[in-house]
Amino acid sequence: MEETPKLVTDVSDFLVANKSMQSEGMVAGLQEFLGDNYIDYISQHNTPCDIIVFGDEKGKYVVKLERNDNPTTTQKEVSWYQYIKDNGVVPEHFPKYYGGYQDEGLAFYFLEYLDGYKPVGSLFLDDKMSTEDLIKASTDAITAVEDMFHSLPRKKDPEVTKKVFGNRLQSRIAEMYEFPYLAEMLEREEIVINGKPYKNIPHYMDKLLNHPLLDEISEKEVGIIHGDMHFGNILLGEGDKPFMFLDPNGALFLPLEYDYSKILYATHTGYDFLHVGRYKLSGGDGVYEFQLDEREKRKAVTEGYVDFLGDRAKTVFYTNAIHTLASLPHHAKDMEEETATYLQSLIILEEIFKLQGK
């Protein structure tokens, strides 16, 4: 069994000893503690976590930490890695895990630092990947997750999927009503996008929650999946290095459709383009002009991925509609980004129900 590097153990001891510190103080204190071993701080989008890179002559490491009253994001990831370890699986496409810690006020874990890797999402945004390479990255990622899924315990539990999908969607839509501008949008019967009227989100809620495809998905086996497999969490290395996953969601013991649809979240929904403002948006009061970047390339990658999915495509499109709607409150403090994501959600919902013939 590989020994935990001493520097990692030292950092772990420091964090536990100083767990009463607030997040900013903890990060500053850790940087001072590391001294010349400190390398970098990696900023995150829409997450309460801090990521610090450090190292010595023996290697480079990353610590991901969350300090608040209920650090659930990082706790889930620690649980995921621990579950994999406890079941004797060493996943080929994840960085080495050096252990973690969690309690009600602090959670953190350590990984090897991946030199020379970049997220597929960033490469897509910078137009540094061809359509063919993006399709390959998508299908390779799915194949790797399927292999992991089938090497770990799994079972049938129809109520799990319905509960996660249904309760999650309803609670996220309820969160949207807490923002006055979103409440106003939700109360409209239709939203006009590029001169075309679209049925609004409330019109689709019962359809989504009582759709026969949810019954179909619920009858599938559930097991450990990645849980957040969008393009920002798939990394490509230089040369012949294997691709890598980051940031698994350890709370999810679900059918593979959940991971399958996260690829569509990157291509069909255009997640990476939305959260960095790669769109054109104008208008208001229920009438908008809206265009998301790289429409044709995203469409081509989606079509290639759907060909790979075959008969699974309908359930995966359905699951992506759930993902897209459930993500909306994450963007609500940024009115422009949220509005763009909302409009894209309506476009996707119409496409989904056309696909299903509903």
Q: One fold for both 6-113 and 118-355?
A: no
| Strand ordering across the sheet containing 234-237 | 117-119, 234-237, 244-245
**Average per-residue pLDDT for the chain:** 91
- Determine what percent of the chain is predicted with pLDDT higher than 70: 97
Q: Which residue has the higher pLDDT, 336 or 162?
A: 336
- Determine what percent of the chain is predicted with pLDDT higher than 90: 70
The fold for domain 118-355 equals Aminoglycoside 3'-phosphotransferase; Chain: A, domain 2 (3.90.1200)
Per-residue pLDDT at 6 exceeds 60: yes
Domain-wise residue ranges, the chain: 6-113, 118-355
Per-residue pLDDT at 319 exceeds 70: yes
Distance CA(160)–CA(87), nearest Å, equals 22
Per-residue pLDDT at 297 exceeds 90: yes
Could you tell me if residue 161 is left (phi over 0), alpha (psi between -120 and 50 degrees) or otherwise beta? alpha
Beta strands per DSSP E along 217-293 = 221-224, 234-237, 244-245, 253-254, 279-284, 287-292
Tell me: the pLDDT tens digits for 114-131? 999 999 999 999 999 999
Of the spans 246-255, 271-280, 322-331, which averages the highest pLDDT?
Answer: 271-280
Q: What is the pLDDT of residue 249?
A: 85
Q: What is the pLDDT of residue 341?
A: 94
Do the Cβ atoms of 55 and 79 come closer than 8 Å? no
Q: What is the pLDDT of residue 162?
A: 84
Q: What is the pLDDT of residue 1?
A: 45
How sure is the predictor about 343, in pLDDT bands with cuts at 50, 70 and 90? very high
Tell me: the pLDDT tens digits for 185-216? 999 999 999 999 999 999 999 888 888 999 99
Do the Cβ atoms of 193 and 347 come closer than 8 Å? yes
Q: What is the pLDDT of residue 118?
A: 94
The fold for domain 6-113 equals Phosphorylase Kinase; domain 1 (3.30.200)
Q: What is the pLDDT of residue 120?
A: 96
Per-residue pLDDT at 357 exceeds 70: no
How sure is the predictor about 58, in pLDDT bands with cuts at 50, 70 and 90? very high
How sure is the predictor about 260, in pLDDT bands with cuts at 50, 70 and 90? very high
Alpha-carbon distance values, 127 to 92, 273, 299 (Å): 27, 12, 15
Q: What is the pLDDT of residue 23?
A: 76
